[in-house]
Each structure stands twice: as C-alpha cells, then as structure tokens.
Amino acid sequence: MKRLMLLLTAGLFFTGISSKVFAEKSEHYQQAPKDSIPKKIIGKVKITVKNLMDGTAVDSVYILAGNKRGYTDSKGIVEFDSVPVGIMVTTTKSNKKSKS
C-alpha cells in the first residue's frame, strides 16, 4: 500500500512538472519583445534644390538621404518615401558647391 501511494504521488508530481515543461501561450517569456525606442518615420519627403544666387531650380543633382538615393528632375525636385527622422541629406553636383 505504501508503494502504491509512493508511485501515485511520484506520478502526480512528474505529471505536474511535465505539464509546465511544454510551452503555454499565457507565459510572459513567449511574447515578442517590444522595441522601447519607437521609430519615427516621415511618410513622404519632397526635396527641392535651388540655386542660391538666382533661385532657379537645379536639375540632375544627386541626393543621398540615408539609404534613399535619387536625382532631381527638371524642376529641381526629388521625392522619397519612408525616410527616418534626423537623417542627413547630402547633395552632389559636379562643379557645384552645396549648402544644406
């Protein structure tokens, strides 16, 4: 009788432990960690490049904004989608000085 009680107790004990071994959805450690720093992204950015001397638009200027790249059109405009806030914008045109 003592052996039977010992076996039943051991069986219940191991059954209780083994049920906690398998993953349950209610446990906190299984949730994906949330990013503590939210990413601020501007949906659409429109950059216009003009000549400082006379205010005319400058075409074919190479614009680098983070990982976004492009050339201005004949109106001196280039548009980028999903640009992170605080990105440095660099302009390049041969034989021209740039100021941002």
pLDDT at 42: 85
The domain ranges of the chain are 41-92
Count the alpha carbons within 13 Å of 60 in the hemisphere toward its beta carbon: 4
Flag residues of the chain having pLDDT under 70: 1-2, 4, 6-8, 10-33, 35-38, 97-100
CB 64 within 8 Å of CB 78: no
pTM score, whole prediction: 0.56
Cα–Cα distance for residue pair 61/78, rounded to 1 Å: 9
Kindly report, residue by residue over 33-59, the tens digit of the pLDDT: 676 666 788 889 999 999 888 999 999
pLDDT at 93: 87
What tokens were used for 8? 């039943």
